Each structure stands twice: as structure tokens, then as C-alpha cells.
Structure 1
């Protein structure tokens, strides 16, 4: 009996201990579930707050985007209005230009009206008036044309470096391309059409010169190539190269005090050679402190300097220049580049007053000319603009005396 009692007491004690153990386990699990529920509730509240903040941010972003769109529309309208006003001003300038001709310095007794008729007696015939014109005008200049407008522009192609030069010999159809700002290779094409249809410069005839040309300021005139040889610690040299015989026929020193660039926007050009109806010209700067561009007339046969002028055209903001009928046209731009314009004119015969010469704008392009070369046979400019080869057609009119 006694062992049975002990067994019952032991069993009861064991059951009581298990009950306490499982009760403690349940309490632990219940506390963990409550903690998880609290954390989930916290996460839910945080999610709601983040959602509200994102919605408010989206609303603010949408309002800001609407404001930017409105500002962009207003700015676009302002720009369009400005473009319209600029076009209107340019048209008005063109109209004024057509109504006003550039006048020149001459004897005060010699007058000419806008129509080009001399102030002679009314009973003199047209033939006699023309003879008087030729007799008097021949004492002033052999060339009677001035640029009145830039008629059109043709972008031929884009090949080569951003800076370079291309030109055509006035006495032939051959085209010569100077790629870059220096080198001893010149690319020759048989015609403008061949150059336009070519793929790059590899298909051209490669002319290797005996020395390097410096700067995109060379000239081709009557079968000869004239280029500048510029070496360190040496005077500038003008080299005359016979394209037919492939040989140098003459070299002339061109002494200047310093090798200052002639155009501040094209620092690679120390001397710019130009050819027109009257021969060969050089544009240069006398020194770093000299503010104006100088002009020299050169004999194309002997390379002798015949005469020198101060054009009174500033070097500052100049990018290129060319000569037509003994008149220098200096082209200006800005940095960064905007629209090129002819803003200074100098006539070696004093037939054109710069203040009364027309202000000519090139057709709208937003680059900068590395070179401009005039062809007197075609009355065209061959331009190099940021690697583009461009042809400008010019409209000419007779110079008028006042």
C-alpha cells in the first residue's frame, strides 16, 4: 500500500510540473505574438506615413513641372519673338542697303548720282557720257566693283579638320584643299563636282610640297601656289610653287617685327594671302601691340612688295578677310561663335568709305570661318566653317563717286 501511495504522489507532482512548463511556454509564445503584432502595427503606420509623404512629394513635383512647362513656353515665345524681330531688322537693313550705295573719296568737282550718270549737260548723248566716265574713272582705279550682298550659300560637304582652307584657281577648274592648320600635303581635285562627289580626301591627287605650309592662309593664282613658311626663330617666307612643274620658283622673306596673328579669332594665321582681279595681296599684323590689320600689294611674278597700307580695320574679333577689286573686306565674329559679318571695308583706291559701306551678314550659321577665299572669275567665296566646305555667291555693283 505504501509503495502505491508513493507512486501516486510522484505522478501527481510530475503532472503539476509539466502543467507549469507548458503554461510558461504558452505565455512566452503569446508575448512574442503580441510583440510581432505591435511591430506590424508600427510598420503599417510607417507605411501609411511614407505613402502620404510620397503623394505630397508627387503633387509638389507635378506642380513644379507644370511651372517649368509654363516658363519654357514663355521663354520659347520670347525667343521666337526675338528671332522675328532680328529677321525684321535684317530685312530693314537689307532694304536700306539697297536704297543706299557706298560712296567714295574723290575730287569734289566730280559727282555721280545713284543711277551712275554724270552731272553733265543735258544735251550730251549717252555715248559721250560713257566716254567721260571711263576717262575720269581710269585715273582712280582699274576695278569698278564692290560687293552689294551675299546672294546665296551652298554647303558642299564636310570633310577634314575643323580648320582648313579650300580654293579654286581662277584660271582653271582645279580645286585645292588644305586640311588642318599646317602640313606639307595639298589635295587636288579636277573640279568642284569631283570634290563634292569624293569620299574624303583619299581619292584626290596628293601634292607633297618641299616644305610645310603654315596656317590656312595660302592662295592659288594663275597656276601657282603661294604659301607661308613659318619656322621658329626665322623670318616669314612666302613660297611660290609651280603646280605644273612641281617645283619652287621663288622664295621671298617677309620681315615683320613679331609673328603676331592677323586675326584674333584665328591665331593660326600669321599672314593671310589673298588673290583677286588685281593680283596678289598679303594681310598681316605689324606687331602684337598693333591694333589694326595691314595690307601689302605683292607682285605675283617677283614676290616684291609694291605698296603697304594700314587698313584701319581692327584685328580684335576678326576671323577672316578677303580682297575684291582692291577692296579689303574684314569678317568679324564673337567667341563663342555666332553670326559672321563684314563690318570693316578698306579700299586701296579710296573709292569706298568704310562708314558708308553696307554692313553684310553671312547667311545664318553658328560656326566660325577658318578661311575665306575669293574667286574673281566666279564671283564666289570659298569658305571653311567647322569642317564644312561652303560656297557663297556674291552680288556686285559698280563703285560710285561722290
Structure 2
């Protein structure tokens, strides 16, 4: 029995030693974990402190930036007010300062002027109407709505008093939106309630017009003028104009190669070619056959031009800047030689949202229908008589 007892004692001692070793190991691991937790707590506290300091710095910098932004806004408002005041004063001076009378005119100079007048009389365009009005100033502006994309055309029928309104949204679509009246258009939530007319080919640019229930537009596929009857939705005629090597007529509206216009005389084409790519050209078209009746090379530059329109046989070209500012009529060309850019008043448009994508004149109402960054705008005009030669 004694050896068995000794063996049990020995086993008990070994078990106690192993148990103690396990306890020591566990205690060491716990101490190591506690050290790591302590280190993590210290690091977390330090990060939290640094984040608080960074937050304080950011708040301070944001407050400083807000103050600087407010000061800059006030300065810009002041500058804008001064610019508007200067423009109004310039407009006032232009209206008050008339041409200086000529004195002691030489007889030879008079003879030269008479000969020039006679030459103009020989090449004068044969007017279809007795219209002799020209723009004096923009009397009023009315923003009706914002429908569609940044570029497009909206216009009424320029040859009828039907009251129908037409929307050409974008610069490369094949759909025309028709409203029964301007009132229906303003009351509508968008284009969903309009009548939709499908064109045989997509239009290109913003040169579309509607005249006597017919839409005239430049086809995207072949760069030709299409005559589309809106009453029965059929193409009645098309023509490729005798102009070669088109370039965009307005450098600020590069999608438009040919801008069609309607006035009291009928249908016009405003265009430019590579042969005279610095300046805009003008052509009178027959509304029935689409034949070219007469063409003119104007002295109106393409550079920084954004739109154009014709009133009583006079082309008005609207200019702007690369960063859209205040549009202005800066060049005028009269096919009868009665008005020149030097004689015509410098007409400024009221400041708006961006730049004109299109401007269409309606001779029935003497209004301009303009598309500006998706906004549909009406301009009421002050008119005066041209000076007869």
C-alpha cells in the first residue's frame, strides 16, 4: 500500500504544479491584455483630443470663409449695380446725343454722296410691303415659362393670326409640340399636354420657323431646307440651297448652320460659308418654291454672334461673350440701304439667365420670342421709322 500512496502523492504534486503553471500563464495573458487595453485607451483619448482640435480649427476657418464670401458677394452686388447704372447712363446718352450737323460741305463731297445714293437705288431690293420700321429699344421683357433643354425654339405662326404656339425642343429632334395658344402653354405643366407632330427628318440647330401653317427647318441628315405642312403633317417641298461649305452662322451657337427668319416681307435665310467665314450672309427666299430671290454679303461678324432676326428687311445680329453676359444688337444690315450699323441705336437686352439659343420675330405682334437656357421669353419692342434716302 505504501508505494501506491507515494504514487498518488507524486501525481497530486505534478497536478498542482501544472495547475499553478496554467494559472501563472493566464495571469500573464490577462496582464498583457490589460496593458494593450490601456494603450488603446490612451491612443483613443489622444485621437479624440486631436479631432476636437481639428474641429475647432475647421469651424474657425469656415467662419472666416463665410465672412469672406459675404464680403465678396457684397462687392459683386456693388459692382453689378455700378455696371447697370453705367449702362443706363450710356443708353440715356445715346438717346440724347444726336448726330452732329455737317457744316461747310464741299460740293464734290455732295456729288459723291448723290452718286452713292443713285447706286444704292439701282441695287435696291424690291420691297413686298411698305414696312419701314426699325428697332429703337427693348421696351419690356416677360419670362413665361421654363420648358425643355438649354437650347430650342419657340414661336407662333408668323403669317396667321391663329394663335397657335410651336415648340422645337433641343437641336436634333423630329418632333414639334403644338399648343392652341400662349395661355394654354403657360397653364400647362410641361410638354405632355401638347399636340405632337412627327417630322419626316430631324431638324438641325435652332433655325426653325413657322409661316402660314408651314414649318420650315434645316434637315439634320442632308443640310437641306424642308417645307412641312403642319395641317396635314406632310412634306410639301425641300431644297438644297446654292450655298457651299457651310460654317455655323453664329460662333456662340455652333449647332445652327442656317437660321431661318420671317418678317413682313416673308422668308429669309441667315447663313455663312467658308468663302466669307468672317461675316454673316443673308438671302431672301420664296416661301412657295424655296428659290433664292436675292443674296447679300453683310458686314456683320460671326465672331461672338449668338442669334439674329429680320424686321422689315433689316437684319439684326445679337452678340454676347463666351461667358454669357448682357446680349446686345451690335450690327444691323438693311437690304435697302436705309439703315447702317452706325446709324442704328445700340440695343441692349435686359440681363437674364444665360445666352440666347434662338430669337424669332413675329410680325403679327411685333414681338421677339427668345429661348434662353430653357426659359421662354417675350421681348416687347419700341419701334421708330427708318430714315428715307
TM > 0.5? yes
Q: Which position in structure 2 is the counterpart of 1:322? A: 309
Q: Which position in structure 2 is the counterpart of 1:389? A: 376
Query: How far 1:40 sits from its partner (Å)?
Result: 9.2
Q: Deviations over 1:364-396 (max 9, x none)?
A: 222222211100121111112222222111111
Query: How far 1:84 sits from its partner (Å)?
Result: 1.2
SS in 1 for 2:88: helix
* Aligned ranges 1:22-61 → 2 under 5 Å: 53=50, 57-58=54-55, 60-61=57-58
Query: Any conservation in 2 of the 1:102–1:357 contact (CA below 8 Å)?
Result: no
Query: Any conservation in 2 of the 1:187–1:205 contact (CA below 8 Å)?
Result: yes
TM-score by length of 1: 0.73
Task: Determine the C-alpha separation between the residues in 1 that align with 2:322 and 2:170.
Answer: 20
Aligned partner (choices 363, 370, 373) of residue 376 of structure 1? 363
Task: Determine the C-alpha separation between the residues in 2 that align with 1:197 and 1:176.
Answer: 15
Aligned partner (choices 161, 172, 179) of residue 182 of structure 1? 172
Aligned partner (choices 207, 211, 220) of residue 197 of structure 2? 207
Q: Which runs of 5+ in 2 are unaligned?
A: 1-20, 107-123
Please identify the structure whose Cα radius of gyration is greater.
Answer: 1
SS in 2 for 1:354: coil
Asked if 1:150 is matched to 2:147, the reply is no
Task: Determine the C-alpha separation between the residues in 2 that align with 1:263 and 1:188.
Answer: 27
Aligned alpha-carbon RMSD (Å): 4.1
Asked if 1:82 is matched to 2:53, the reply is no
Asked which structure has the greater RCO (Cα within 8 Å, sep 6+), the reply is: 1
Q: Which position in structure 2 is the counterpart of 1:120? A: none
Q: Which position in structure 2 is the counterpart of 1:123? A: none
Q: 1:28 to 1:164 in 2, by over 3 A?
A: closer
Query: Any conservation in 1 of the 2:125–2:335 contact (CA below 8 Å)?
Result: no
Q: Which position in structure 2 is the counterpart of 1:352? A: 339
Q: 1:56 to 1:252 in 2, by over 3 A?
A: closer
Question: Which piece of structure 1 moves more, 59-68 or 267-276?
Answer: 59-68
Asked if 1:229 is matched to 2:216, the reply is no
Q: Deviations over 1:194-223 (max 9, x none)?
A: 222234334333333444433321222233
Query: Any conservation in 2 of the 1:144–1:398 contact (CA below 8 Å)?
Result: yes
* Aligned ranges 1:107-146 → 2 under 5 Å: 142-146=130-134
* Aligned ranges 1:261-272 → 2 under 5 Å: 261-272=248-259
Query: How far 1:349 sits from its partner (Å)?
Result: 2.1
Query: Any conservation in 2 of the 1:102–1:399 contact (CA below 8 Å)?
Result: no
Q: 1:396 to 1:52 in 2, by over 3 A?
A: same
Query: How far 1:81 sits from its partner (Å)?
Result: 1.3
Query: Any conservation in 1 of the 2:339–2:386 contact (CA below 8 Å)?
Result: yes
Task: Determine the C-alpha separation between the residues in 1 that align with 2:61 and 2:304.
Answer: 42
Q: Which position in structure 2 is the counterpart of 1:337? A: 324
Aligned partner (choices 89, 93, 97) of residue 94 of structure 2? 97
Q: Which position in structure 1 is the counterpart of 2:148? A: 160
Aligned partner (choices 319, 327, 350) of residue 363 of structure 1? 350
Q: Which position in structure 2 is the counterpart of 1:135? A: none
Task: Determine the C-alpha separation between the residues in 2 that align with 1:102 and 1:321.
Answer: 27
Asked if 1:259 is matched to 2:246, the reply is yes
Q: Deviations over 1:71-108 (max 9, x none)?
A: 223212211211111111121123123324699xxxx9
Task: Determine the C-alpha separation between the residues in 2 that align with 1:247 and 1:29.
Answer: 95
**Matched positions, count:** 364
Q: 1:50 to 1:240 in 2, by over 3 A?
A: closer
Q: Which runs of 5+ in 1 are unaligned?
A: 1-23, 110-137
